[in-house]
Amino acid sequence: MTEAIIFYLFSTVAVVSALMMISVRNPVRAAFYLVLSFFASAIIWLLLQAEFLAIVLVLVYVGAVMVLFLFVVMMLDLNIVEKESGFTRYFPIGIMLAAITFFSIYYVLGQKESGMDVFQSQPLSTAASHVEGYSNTKELGKLLYSEYVYAFEIAAMLLLVAIVAAISLTYRRRPKTRHQNPDLQVSARHEDRIRIVKIPVEERK
Amino acid sequence: MENNLVEQDMSIYLAIVLAPLMGAIIAGVFGRYISRTMAHQVTIVGVAISAALSLLVFKHFALEDMTTINETIYTWMVSDGLHLEVGFLIDKLTAMMMVVVTFVSLMVHIYTIGYMHDDSGYKRFFSYISLFTFSMLMLIMANNFVQLFFGWEAVGLVSYLLIGFWYTRETAIYANLKAFIVNRVGDFGFILGIALVAMTFNSLDYQDVFAASTLHTESTIALFPGTHWSTITVICLLLFIGAMAKSAQAPLHVWLPDSMEGPTPISALIHAATMVTAGIFMVARMSPLFELSPVALNFILLIGAVTAFFMGLLGIVQNDIKRVIAYSTLSQLGYMTVALGASAYAASIFHLMTHAFFKALLFLAAGSVIIAMHHEQDIRKMGGIRHYMPITWITFLLGTLALIGTPGFAGFFSKDSIIMAVHASQLPGANIAYLAILLGVFITAFYSFRLYFLVFHGQPRMDHHTKADLHETPKVVTVPLILLAIPSVLIGALFVADMVFGDFFGAAIMVLPEHDVLATLAKDYHGIIAMVLHSFKSLPFWLMLAGIMSAWYLYMVNPSLPEKLSQRLLIIHKVLLNKYYFDDINSTVFAGGARQLGTFLSRFGDTQVIDGWFVNGSAKLVAWFSSIIRHIQSGYLYHYAFAMMLGLATLLVLLLTTVISH
Amino acid sequence: MSVTPDLLPATAEIFVLIMTCIILVVDTFTPEKYRASSYILTQGTLLGALLITIGLYTEQSIVTFHNTFILDPLASMLKGIIYIVVFAVLIYSKHFLQQHKMFKGEYFVLMLASVLGMMVMVSAYSFVTLYLGLELLSLSLYAMIAMQDQAKSAPEAAMKYFVLGAMASGLLLYGMSMIYGATGTLHLAEIQTNILDKFETHSLLLSFGLVFIIVAVAFKLGAVPFHMWVPDVYHGAPTAVTIFIGSAPKIAAFAMLFRLLVDGLESLHTSWQDILIILAILSMAVGNIIAIAQTNIKRMLAYSTVAHVGFILLGILSVSQSGYSASMFYTITYTIMAVGGFGMVLLLSHKGFDAERISDFKGLSTRAPWFAVMMMIFMFSMAGVPPFLGFWAKLLVLKAVVVEADMVWLAAIAVFFSIIGIFYYLRIIKFMFFDKAEDSEHLTITQGMAVTMSINGVVVLLLGLYPGILLTYCVQAITHVIQ
Amino acid sequence: MLTLTHFLVLAGLLMSIGLAGIFINRKNIIILLMCVELILLAVNLNFIAFSHYLGNVEGQIFVFFILTVAAAEAAIGLAILVVLFRRRQSINVDELDSLKG
């Protein structure tokens, strides 16, 4: 019963904030709504006993990715026009299309012969009963570094690509900015800094 | 020993094919390193070797009765039991075609030295025509459909290259594109036909297919779900669509008249003597298939009849010397097609052969006139040329007589055989076809002699400058004319007994007993003399004579008449009131009427409907449609995402509806 | 359960990965004037990987990394082709990169990363590796497109590709999650057996997931209506990147299509066959028709790609060994022709001038006759004029459709649209040979470019004459997988 | 009682919202990038739910990788966005239409 309340509460939050996210015009607000949606989802993930991932979602997503989003939004210094509608002209058709997609998903999941019947009667709590001392994190870690080591390496490469790409795309050398050159700084000798010039004394006439 | 003979023979066939190819490569690829003289020498030697060897082969088959050779030389690839090979099937049909192709090609090569003398693309031209000879030989010597298709496409390709040879002319490029597009329509059918052959017989080898053809007479194919079509009929119709484009049968004929933009030797070689007959040859070669489908035969018969009659009419109103001959070619191709439809394959091939000689002759003679006239092609600006160019005059006259079927000349034997064969045919459409080709005889005689009179007789109408310079063309031009004139006169009488009424082709052509009209005719055949004598009592002869006489009257006796006629006929009662013409009304109304009809057909039927709507129209339609629907690609990201979602939703709904309906 | 997996089959991947890192480091410490060292290292990496892949070639399927990686003849062959194609792409684009200030280490690192992504996709034997390979490829591509300075359209192209690509991979994952739910595994081999074991009747959940997966694969291939990114990206991207996007990734996409639909979900073929029919017809129609109205050659080639994708799908949807191998043959040959075609665009462009308009090809036969002939070969081949290579590819696919799938009408539609398609290829040939040149600038063609282009043209010509060479390998590779 | 369907329907709902967000929004590209994140969130939920009910951790492994990829993707997407903004001074979806036809 508690589970059901938690589920309905947080799924409502997730869905409503998702809806808000796509309908507000201000990207900063949208980002915050997305964060909210992520939080709610994380709680639902906890409900499904995916503790590690729930934490990762909050840490990585909310902590890093969404901050990056906000950072970019702020950096770009956008001027948001509030008056115009932010939606396309065929907004209703678009909504209808999304609704069709959703209802076909809904229909499939509700079908008896869809292949879902094996799960249908299973309540949440008994679905996966773990022995005492079971650790979701440990279990994932074991798999990750043994069976999925290949995938893990590719994922590492992916992050490297992201770094290289992001830097090479956004980095620009501004010709007029003054920047330090540590190499020169360190190798500077005092002769370079001070030049003692002997000025001949001139007698005042 | 037996083996040895075969091997020796295979090397002969390879030499026949490769000699022109070598010439083409030397003149084409290494063109810049060799002189002009070298270029034509190399190619002519190549084709001459080919022609000599072809004659030798023909001798083997015709006189020594050699057995059919079917050898695979090289296996290209094998895929699921389907062999794609290069190989030769040589029998009497092939041997005869080889002689025709190489001989005409040789003549054209020699003639080109004179015709293209001042052209900057001299070497390129020789390379092309040698390449064409190679491709055409590949086509006729093929023993499988793939090689046939290769040759088919290759001759087409060279043909486009040559039509557009003078590519600085805007019209040449247009004609080139038109030929290309129309032939694509044909290829569409042809390749589907071949695919269907592969599917039905699981082989592309002629021998296998023909051997298995009778097994599939009952099989059907569902082109659209729920319909049943006889497989053989579908195959035959599809293949024939290919033949229609290549052999310029209505309504896919539109490219041929325009192809006259190419140099005249090309018109002679490709667009009269050889390439355009590839379709005829193909149908004859496939006779074991076509014989099994009366529907296809009837279709062929009617298409041929339409072409023979209506294309001839168009010839009457043309004023370009080459175009008149081009329309005559169309009409003659119609005759050949009619013969195919009537199962008189031998007569058709026979006409193909005689036509190759006399039509090449006519074109080359016309080319000779064109050279002398400094590339003027309008017959209204000619006249009286016979005094200046006697050899051209005589040879042209011989060619014309052969074309209209003067008894004794080559064209007579072949054309009369066709007319008789169609008369004897039992197919439902045979009566109409008979009528069409009978009238065609009159028309042929009329436009041929109109051309002849306007060019060679009457008052000279060219300007003084041209007239002062008018003289016979050099020997490289006239010698081929004379050499071609000989077979144009004699070849009919020499071979009619064997080829048409005898069993010359043997197993190369298969005719079902119930279709065999030529066998019926053979019973009444009592030698060449008898055939000639009999013709004097027959309708075609008198129609021909009437044609000549009408032309003579209209263009020689009363040259102002056609001009007036065409003006006055617009208002018929004026003509009727005019008593001066009243006596001649019988011949002139018909001639004039035909002229009007021809103009109408050419203006409306040809230019408007077929050119305008089908060829240009469909191209324009596609281009227009394309320019409209490209706006779907609006550039807006949300439209793209929307299209993707629409696709996804459609697929999901489709999935669900099929599941629910189950 | 052994914890240490067998690393040997993945030597090529490991090699490319290490080399990528080395290039990244070397490039950082190389002064500007020795920038070519990165280029040479990249080419060396590709050649090295080719040698390793050839060395590792076996007739067996070796599965390692706990069922997430497979090395079979199909994978080896496709990888080999990918290296060769990318090698040629780099030679073609070198000049362009130097002129557009893109000749820098990051570009080569990204390129190698995307090659690695393709290799991972080709060898993927589990949803996880397949997805990661795909993303590695895509992310590198997004970045490469946006890399060009100054160009106004490049970031737009990158952005469109990025948003739509991310959406497509979202759909792919959604589909994968459904299949995972239904079968309880992420490994392709187990999916196949689980489906056969668990589901006697048609499972809606599986078909449902399948639709999403097909949509994503169709997006990657560029099949209508998921093709919208293709023309914009081909057009907007720097030509050096366009030639890359237009070539090798098609092979990886084919591998993805094959691994998913045939290797993993062949038992659902009744469901995916119908969908592919729709996509194939739409692709051939839209691609060929819209291509006619194009004036930009990159856009035109993009639409022609869409049309070719229709043909690739035809082979797959005939659900037969010969169909799959025909499809594979088609993909490989198309890639070779496309590299040549785009290479020609690069060849014609010079400082401050990208030969992007079709009319820039006017009079090429007088400016550079040899290359005009090469281009003619590519165009004839793409159009499917016999006996050029493209003709055999089309013929084989059509044969599979007619003989194996027994869909004569579909073959007729395909032939019909490809005949319309001949129109726009022919126009380029007409421009090259029959029109006067508008641009009289002398062409600067580097020796490497000229040699590669000649080899490329000759390969197309020779494969057209001897299609059996390549086809035999395709048939072998496919037969091996099917068993 | 909570069954698997509950979670899947929630995921489907989030997915549809994310998809709709991409094609009904015409002002701000940055929101499109957020929609992509939302789609991935929905997918992750799907995997985790299946993983839980199947008693099979593999699904969660996949989610782990998806999160990694999503982070990399966000970085590159934002980088492209920055380049785009610098080049055009606008990230308006409506103005992203120079490539078309």
Q: Are residues B569 and B588 in contact, defined by beta-carbon separation less than 8 angstroms?
A: no
- Nearest 5 degrees, angle CA C208-CA C213-CA C218? 125
Phi-psi region of B506 (alpha: psi -120 to 50; beta: other; left: phi over 0): left
Residue numbers in D near C143 (CB within 8 A): 76, 79-80
Burial class (CB in 10 A: 0-12, 13-18, 19+), B513: exposed
- Are C170 and D18 within 8 A, CB to CB? yes
Show the 3-state SS of C445-481. Answer: CCHHHHHHHHHHHHHHHHHHHCHHHHHHHHHHHHHHH
CA dihedral sign of residues B347, B349, B352, B356: negative
Q: What is the CA radius of gyration of chain A?
A: 29
Distances, alpha carbon C192 to alpha carbons C126, C180, C269, in Å: 12, 12, 12
Kindly state the helix (H) or strand (E) to which residue B84 belongs, with its residue range.
Answer: strand B82-90
Q: How does the average pLDDT of chain B come out, rounded?
A: 81
> In angstroms, what separates the C-alpha of B173 from chain A's closest C-alpha?
47
- What are C3-12's pLDDT values in tens digits? 577 889 999 9
pLDDT band at B608 (very low <50, low <70, confident <90, very high): low
Q: Which residues of C touch B242 (CB under 8 A)?
A: none
| Mutate: best of B145, B194, B651, B652, partner C, most C CBs <10 A | B651
Q: How many CB atoms lie within 10 A of CB D53?
A: 23
Say whether B645 and D99 touch across the interface (CB within 8 A): no
Picking from A78, A71, A68, A43, the residue whose alpha carbon sits closest to that of residue A58 is A43
Using the predicted structure, report yes or no on whether residue D65 has a pLDDT greater than 50: yes
Structure tokens at C369: 């006759």
| Distance, C-alpha A77 to centroid of its chain | 21
Angle C248-257/C321-348 helices, nearest 10 degrees? 160
Least confident of A17-21, B609-613, C311-315, D88-92: B609-613
* Interatomic CA distance for residues B14 and B9, integer angstroms: 9
Cβ D19–B645 below 8 Å, yes or no? yes
- Beta-carbon count within 10 A of B378 CB: 13
**Mean pLDDT (whole number) for A100-122:** 70
Neighbours of chain D (3+ CB pairs under 8 A): A, B, C
Most trustworthy range by pLDDT among B117-121, B482-486, B513-517: B482-486
The vertex-A131 CA angle with A130 and A137, nearest 5°, equals: 65
Specify whether the CB–CB gap between C246 and C342 falls below 8 A. Answer: yes
User: What SS3 string covers C207-240?
Assistant: HHHHHHHHHHHHHHHCCCCCCCHHHHHHHHCCHH
Q: Report pLDDT for B2.
A: 42
Gap between the Cα atoms of B37 and C57, Å rounded:
56
Which A positions 123-162 lie with beta carbon below 8 A of chain C?
146-151, 153-155, 157-158, 160-162
At D48 the pLDDT is 94
Give residue for tokens 């629910």: B660
Q: Please list the helix, strand and coil fractions of chain D in percent, rounded to the nearest 5, in that order.
A: 80, 0, 20
- The yes-or-no verdict on residue B309 having pLDDT over 60 is yes
Q: Which residues of C touch B632 (CB under 8 A)?
A: 290
- Asked whether B618 and B177 are in contact (CB, 8 A), the reply is no
pLDDT of residue C355: 78
Q: What is the pLDDT of residues B473-492, one digit of tens each?
A: 888 888 889 988 998 888 88
Scored b (16 or more CB within 10 A) or e, C124-160 reads: bbbbbbbbbbbbbbbbbbbbbbbbbeebebbbbbbbb
Indicate the residue of A88, A90, A101 with minimum beta-carbon distance to B652.
A101
Lowest mean pLDDT among A80-84, B152-156, C130-134, C336-340: A80-84
C151 within 8 A of C160, measured Cβ to Cβ = no
**Phi, psi dihedrals of residue D16, rounded to the nearest 5°:** -60, -40
**CB-based burial label for C443 (10 Å; 0-12, 13-18, 19+):** middle
Is the minimum CB–CB distance between B177 and chain C shorter than 8 Å?
yes
Mean pLDDT of B630-636: 82
Q: Is the predicted pLDDT of residue A149 greater than 80, yes or no?
A: yes
pLDDT digits (tens, 9 = 90+) for D22-38: 888 777 888 899 999 99
Structure tokens at B228: 């049943």
Q: What is the pLDDT of residue B590?
A: 41
For residue B579, what pLDDT is reported?
A: 31
Q: How far apart are CA D19 and CA C99, in angstroms?
A: 40
Q: What six digits make up the tokens of C62?
A: 């070796």
Highest-confidence segment of B179-183, B545-549, C363-367, D71-75: D71-75
CB contact (8 A) between residue B635 and residue D101: yes
Decide if pLDDT at C36 tops 60. Answer: yes
β-pair type (B229-230, B220-221) = antiparallel
In this predicted model, what pLDDT tens digit does every residue of C173-198 receive, in sequence order?
999 999 998 888 999 989 888 888 87
Q: How far is CA C467 from the centre of its chain?
A: 20
Question: How far apart (Å, rounded) are the C-alpha atoms in residues B489 and D22?
Answer: 81
Q: Which of C471, C453, C480, C449 is nearest to C91 (CA)?
A: C449
Task: Give pLDDT tens digits for C49-80.
Answer: 999 999 999 888 899 988 899 999 999 999 99
The second-level CATH assignment, the architecture, of A1-81 is Up-down Bundle (1.20)
- Which carries the bigger pLDDT value, residue C227 or residue C438? C227
- The pLDDT, as a whole number, for residue B591 is 44
**Which pLDDT belongs to residue B626?**
76
**Choice between B11 and B623, residue whose per-residue pLDDT is larger:** B11
Does the pLDDT of residue B577 top 50, yes or no?
no
Task: Please state the rounded mean pLDDT for residues B10-14.
Answer: 83
Is residue B407 a contact partner of residue B541, using CB atoms and an 8 Å limit?
yes
ipTM of this complex: 0.91
Instruction: Reply yes or no on whether the pLDDT at C21 is more than 60.
Output: yes
- What mean pLDDT, rounded, does chain C reach? 90
Q: What is the mean pLDDT of residues B147-152?
A: 88
Whether the CB of D32 is below 8 Å from some CB of chain B: the reply is yes
Its pTM stands at 0.72
pLDDT-based confidence at C336, cuts 50/70/90?
very high
How far apart are the two ends of chain C, measured CA to CA in Å? 27
**Residues B53, B54, B56, B60, Cα dihedral to 10°:** 140
* Phi, psi of C161, rounded to the nearest 5 degrees: -60, -40
Tell me the C-alpha distance between B80 and C41, whole Å: 44
pLDDT tens for residues A79-109?
Answer: 665 555 556 667 788 888 888 888 888 888 7
Range with the poorest average pLDDT among B358-362, B527-531, B562-566: B562-566
Q: Check CB contact under 8 Å for A108 and C208.
A: yes
pLDDT attached to residue C55? 93
pLDDT surpasses 80 at A177: no
pLDDT given for residue B557 in this prediction: 77
Report the distance separating Cα B365 and Cα B97, nearest Å.
Answer: 23
Tens-place pLDDT, residues B184-242: 778 888 888 888 888 888 888 888 888 888 888 778 776 666 677 888 888 999 999 99
C147 CB neighbours in chain A (<8 A) are: 168-169
Question: What pLDDT sits at residue B573?
Answer: 39
DSSP assignment of C393-428: HHHHHHHIIIIIS--HHHHHHHHHHHHHHHHHHHHH
Helices (H), B291-344: 294-316, 321-341
Per-residue pLDDT of B341-394, as tens digits, reads 998 898 999 999 899 889 989 988 998 888 888 878 888 888 888 888 888 999
CB C158 within 8 A of CB C146: yes
For residue C239, give how far its alpha carbon lies from the nearest alpha carbon of chain A (Å). Answer: 18
Q: pLDDT tier at C201 (50, 70, 90 boundaries)?
A: low
Q: Are the Cβ atoms of C139 and A113 closer than 8 angstroms?
A: no
Residue contact B77–C274, C-beta within 8 A: no
Spatial distance between the Cα atoms of A139 and A133, rounded to a whole number of angstroms: 11
Lowest mean pLDDT across A147-156, A189-198, B537-546, C99-108: A189-198
Most A-contacting residue of C11, C25, C63, C106 (CB-CB within 10 A), to test interface: C106
Residue D63 in contact with partner chain C when CB distance is under 8 A:
no
pLDDT at B116: 81
Q: What structural domains does chain D harbor?
A: 4-95 (1.10.287.3510)
For position A148, what pLDDT does the model report?
A: 92
User: What number is the average pLDDT over the span C418-427?
Assistant: 84
